[in-house]
């Protein structure tokens, strides 16, 4: 898949999920570097910077995307010749893909330790990291049951239900608004994350914060499974994560909206769950209470490298 195709597919959500978006972006940079014909370092850098800008512009919220691009692109500025610049960038891109895949698997192993035999787990949207925990527990022979939400308007819950069903996990498929109704039957909620701020707030699929609130009310644990590259270094500087608002067509067709002249359809894709409602964040580097987000950013993402924070391209005001 070339750069433009990858960018288009991320934008239209044919490629979706915060981790997958990041891996595809790294692969697109790899391919773009391989296919290019730049003979000097300056034109190679320009070409790659344009590619990075295009990829970053595709979706604004999942911090995994700019974090991955940052990891691949940033050291370019220290290169002195085009050949090694290309080779090093391509190595970094593939190293990120490998690291990301291993992280999801490791999160499963760590997360399964927080699931007990007999647990009923509620999950929201379609998260590789959250599913990794659930599937690992199932593989270890635990007798678990899952409530999976539908996830209007894009219905990512269908993918989750199919994955769980194929793996033989007993699954209840529910509409998003039924989450509080069923919370009394749930032992544990596990979701993924698109971004985690320095104060431990979790940005994830719209509806997550309502579920966290219902879990809090029912004294049900709320866990978040997320690779360390979902933490947002820019939030240390007080920046906010931009919440994507997608087309109203995803909710009501233009024809239907035409019959409702006084109605505005709003379609925010993500919401923010404050740290108070999050019990634990499961990462590939171990588990952290949300209050330790600063430590994760500092130790795992090496935020104190001045280059990294001086020109972060990806955080905008809300
Ligand atoms: P993993 C998804 O976003 C969902 O919000 C999901 O919870 C999150 O990414 C993390 O997914 P979207 O692309 O990286 O469906 O754990 O909007 O797979």
- Rounded Cα–Cα distance for residues 120 and 192 (Å): 17
CATH of the domain at 8: 1.20.120.420
Same domain, 39 and 95: yes
Same domain, 206 and 101: no
Taking Cα atoms as reference points, which of 55, 68, 15, 61 lies closest to residue 227?
Answer: 68
Bond into 23 cis (ω within 30): no
- Judge whether 316 lies within some domain: no
194 is catalytic: yes
- Rounded Cα–Cα distance for residues 104 and 31 (Å): 23
- Rounded Cα–Cα distance for residues 304 and 302 (Å): 5
Taking Cα atoms as reference points, which of 64, 4, 3, 65 lies closest to residue 31?
Answer: 3
Same domain, 99 and 216: no
The confidence score (pLDDT) of residue 301 equals 86
Same domain, 89 and 205: no
Same domain, 115 and 191: yes
- Domain end position, chosen among 87, 106, 125: 106
Beta carbon of 207 within 6 Å of any ligand 1 atom: no
Which of the residues in the chain have pLDDT under 70?
A: 304-318
Neighbours of 83 (CB within 10 A): 10
3-state helix, strand, coil in the chain (%, to 5): 55, 15, 35
pTM for the predicted model, two decimal places? 0.94
Beta carbon of 204 within 6 Å of any ligand 1 atom: yes
Q: Note the pLDDT tens digit of each residue in 77-118.
A: 999 999 999 999 999 999 999 999 999 999 999 999 999 999
Query: Which atom of ligand 1 is the closest one to the Cα of 204?
Result: 5
- Domain end position, chosen among 40, 72, 106: 106
The confidence score (pLDDT) of residue 37 equals 82
- Judge whether 317 lies within some domain: no
Same domain, 36 and 183: no
The confidence score (pLDDT) of residue 318 equals 37
Per-chain mean pLDDT for the chain: 94
Same domain, 123 and 190: yes
Q: What residue's CA is closest to ligand 1, atom 7?
A: 192
Taking Cα atoms as reference points, which of 65, 25, 47 lies closest to residue 234?
Answer: 65
The confidence score (pLDDT) of residue 254 equals 97
Query: Which one from 194, 234, 279, 315 is the annotated catalytic residue?
Result: 194
The alpha carbon of 129 and the centre of ligand 1 are apart by a number of angstroms equal to 9
The confidence score (pLDDT) of residue 312 equals 45
Enclosing H/E stretch for 170? strand 170-174
Same domain, 306 and 201: yes
Same domain, 53 and 76: yes
Same domain, 99 and 131: no
The confidence score (pLDDT) of residue 304 equals 62
Tokens of 68: 């991955």
- Rounded Cα–Cα distance for residues 236 and 197 (Å): 8
Give the domain range for residue 266: 108-310
The confidence score (pLDDT) of residue 314 equals 35
Question: CB burial class (10 A; 0-12, 13-18, 19+) of residue 298?
Answer: middle
Report the Cα–Cα distance between both ends of the chain, in Å, rounded: 32
- Judge whether 73 lies within some domain: yes
Query: Which one from 45, 119, 125, 234 is the annotated catalytic residue?
Result: 125
Residue carrying the six token digits 């994955």: 163
CATH of the domain at 137: 3.40.50.10470
Q: Structural domain tally of the chain?
A: 2
- Domain end position, chosen among 83, 106, 129: 106
Query: Which atom of ligand 1 is the closest one to the Cα of 64?
Result: 14
Taking Cα atoms as reference points, which of 290, 312, 195, 298 lies closest to residue 242?
Answer: 195
The confidence score (pLDDT) of residue 303 equals 73
Same domain, 19 and 124: no
Integer angstrom CA distances of residue 96 from 30, 83, 147, 162, 166? 11, 20, 32, 28, 29
Q: Note the pLDDT tens digit of each residue in 159-181.
A: 999 999 999 999 999 999 999 99
- Judge whether 255 lies within some domain: yes
271 is catalytic: no
Same domain, 28 and 149: no
């Amino acid at each position: 898949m070339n750069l433009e195709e990858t960018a288009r597919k991320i934008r239209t959500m044919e490629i979706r999920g915060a981790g997958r978006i990041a891996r595809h972006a790294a692969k697109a940079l790899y391919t773009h570097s391989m296919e290019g014909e730049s003979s000097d370092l300056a034109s190679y850098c320009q070409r790659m910077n344009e590619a990075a800008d295009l990829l970053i512009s595709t979706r604004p919220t999942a911090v995994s995307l700019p974090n991955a691009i940052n990891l691949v692109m940033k050291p370019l500025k220290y290169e002195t010749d085009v050949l090694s610049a290309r080779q090093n960038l391509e190595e970094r891109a593939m190293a990120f893909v490998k690291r990301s895949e291993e992280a999801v698997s490791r999160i499963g192993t760590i997360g399964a330790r927080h699931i007990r035999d007999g647990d009923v787990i509620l999950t929201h949207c379609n998260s590789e990291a959250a599913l990794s925990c659930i599937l690992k527990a199932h593989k270890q022979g635990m007798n678990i049951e899952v409530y999976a939400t539908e996830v209007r308007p894009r219905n990512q819950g269908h993918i989750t239900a199919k994955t769980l069903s194929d793996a033989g996990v007993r699954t209840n498929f529910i509409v998003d608004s039924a989450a509080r109704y069923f919370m009394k039957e749930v032992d544990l909620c596990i979701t993924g994350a698109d971004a985690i701020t320095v104060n431990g707030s979790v940005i994830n699929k719209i509806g997550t914060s309502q579920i966290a609130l219902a879990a809090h009310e029912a004294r049900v644990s709320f866990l978040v499974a997320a690779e360390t590259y979902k933490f947002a270094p820019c939030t240390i500087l007080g920046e906010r994560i931009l919440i994507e608002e997608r087309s109203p067509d995803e909710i009501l067709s233009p024809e239907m909206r035409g019959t409702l002249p006084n109605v505005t359809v709003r379609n925010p894709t993500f919401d923010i769950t404050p740290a108070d409602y999050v019990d634990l964040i499961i990462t590939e580097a171990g588990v952290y209470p949300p209050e330790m987000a600063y430590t994760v950013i500092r130790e795992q993402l090496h935020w104190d490298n001045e280059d990294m924070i001086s020109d972060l391209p990806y955080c905008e005001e809300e």
